[in-house]
C-alpha cells in the first residue's frame, strides 16, 4: 500500500491539544474519556430514574438515594459526603432535602449530626431502577466484550487515578 492510500494515524483523542502537549499526553486522553463517561453516566442515571418512575431527579439525588438505600441503614450527611467524595456540604444537604420532599428518604438527628434513611417508597424506587438497569444496561455492558475482571481492573485504575487528582488538588491549593 502506498503512503497515499495508507490510513493516517489520527493521534490521541483529546479535548485540549494544549494539555496533551505535555510529558504524558495519554493523561489528556484519560481526562477526555473521563469527561465523556461522566456526562454519559449522569445522563444514564437520570433517564433510568425517569423510566423507573421518578422523572426530574438530578444525578446527585440519584446517587444519594442509592447510597442511602445501601445496606438498609441510616447514613449521616458526613457519611454521604465521604463515600461520594463531595466537598460541598450544601450540595448534599440540598439533594437530601429534595429527596425528603419526594418522600423517598426521611431525616432525623443523631446527636448533632443529621441522618438520612430510606423510606419504603424510596426502596421500591431503587428496586424499579435496578430492574430497568438490568433490562437496558447490563446486557449492553456484556456486549462490550470486557470481562468482569477487566471491568474490576478498570474500576481500580479509576480509583487510583482519582487519588492522583486529589493529591494534585491539595498541592495546587498550596501554590
CATH of 25-142, one of 3.40.50.300, 1.10.10.10, 3.40.50.1370, 1.10.8.60: 1.10.10.10
Determine the Cα–Cα distance for residues 111 and 124; give it in Å rounded to an integer: 29
Q: What are the DSSP calls for 15-80, one per residue?
A: S-HHHHSSS-HHHHHHHHHHHHHHHHHHHHHHHHHHHHT-TT--HHHHHHHHHHHGGGS-EEHHHH
pTM: 0.89
Question: Residue 62, Cβ neighbours under 10 Å: how many?
Answer: 23
Helix (H, G, I), strand (E, B) or coil at 145: coil
- Spatial contact of 52 and 132, defined as CB atoms under 8 Å apart: yes
pLDDT string in tens for the chain (175-residue length): 556 677 767 767 888 888 888 999 889 999 999 999 999 999 999 999 999 999 999 999 999 999 999 999 999 999 999 999 999 999 999 999 999 999 999 999 999 999 999 999 999 999 999 999 999 999 999 999 999 999 999 999 999 999 999 999 999 999 9
Angle formed at CA 92 by CA 75 and CA 98, multiple of 5 degrees: 95
Report domain extents, the chain. Answer: 25-142, 145-175
CA–CA separation, 42 and 158 (whole Å) = 17
Cβ pair 123, 103 in contact under 8 A: no
Amino acid at each position: 500500500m502506498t503512503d497515499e492510500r495508507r490510513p493516517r494515524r489520527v493521534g490521541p483523542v483529546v479535548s485540549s491539544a494544549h494539555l496533551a502537549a505535555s510529558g504524558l499526553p495519554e493523561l489528556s486522553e484519560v481526562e477526555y474519556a473521563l469527561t465523556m463517561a461522566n456526562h454519559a453516566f449522569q445522563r444514564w442515571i437520570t433517564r433510568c430514574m425517569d423510566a423507573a418512575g421518578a422523572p426530574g431527579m438530578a444525578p446527585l439525588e440519584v446517587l444519594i438515594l442509592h447510597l442511602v438505600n445501601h445496606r438498609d441503614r441510616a447514613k449521616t450527611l458526613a457519611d454521604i459526603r465521604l463515600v461520594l467524595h463531595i466537598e460541598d456540604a450544601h450540595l448534599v444537604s440540598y439533594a437530601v432535602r429534595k429527596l425528603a420532599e419526594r418522600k423517598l428518604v426521611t431525616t432525623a438527628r443523631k446527636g448533632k449530626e443529621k441522618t438520612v434513611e430510606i423510606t419504603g417508597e424510596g426502596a421500591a424506587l431503587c428496586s424499579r431502577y435496578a430492574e430497568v438497569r438490568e433490562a437496558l444496561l447490563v446486557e449492553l455492558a456484556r456486549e462490550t466484550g470486557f470481562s468482569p475482571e477487566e471491568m474490576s481492573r478498570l474500576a481500580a485504575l479509576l480509583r487510583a487515578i482519582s487519588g492522583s487528582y486529589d493529591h494534585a488538588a491539595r498541592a495546587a491549593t498550596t501554590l
